[in-house]
Structure 1
């Protein structure tokens, strides 16, 4: 479902829907999705992939639109704890669409929490 939602039309035309595809979370790897016979890179995906794209405009939370810049701003303003709470409330309300919005095909809350933790650790004395 994730690949069908996020691959570009040209890449989708090459998809073998019966093949088992995996997501590659490694930052240094150009591959986003792969199977035993095919690999898809960032150019084959409609959105920037958080794990592979360090730009401030890249989403960390794809469902509710939080970018790296948003996380930095919330951290700087002392509001970092609020963002995961808001995302959790949306999840509990049944609004999460990670399978079709997030390239990794699973909930982004872990990515948000890890990114905020990294910001806290980077700014500790």
Structure 2
């Protein structure tokens, strides 16, 4: 009976230790990366993506008669995605045209929709 208790305790210890060891190995693999989170190539790419998204948003802000308050801009390697809502159908096309004029934009995915107001 005592042997069964020892075996149970041993199995429980192994069951708890295995996930902890696996987690430690994953963390160790990340140690060789800049700042412990991302390889430097990806870090530079995401910085460029954020800068491109800001440039597109800035261009939309300067577009006459365009309300950018509910528009979200994402960029990834030159591909820009516009999402959110605008007041008129003309603004959907206008946003895409403006985004294409920004240097560095290679394609635009326009997912803008019309704002229908209110809750519902």
Same fold (TM over 0.5): no
> Which is strand-richer, 1 or 2?
2
Q: TM-score by structure 2 length?
A: 0.29
> Which is helix-richer, 1 or 2?
2
Q: TM-score by structure 1 length?
A: 0.28
Higher RCO structure (Cα 8 Å, ≥6 apart): 1
The structure with the largest alpha-carbon Rg is: 2
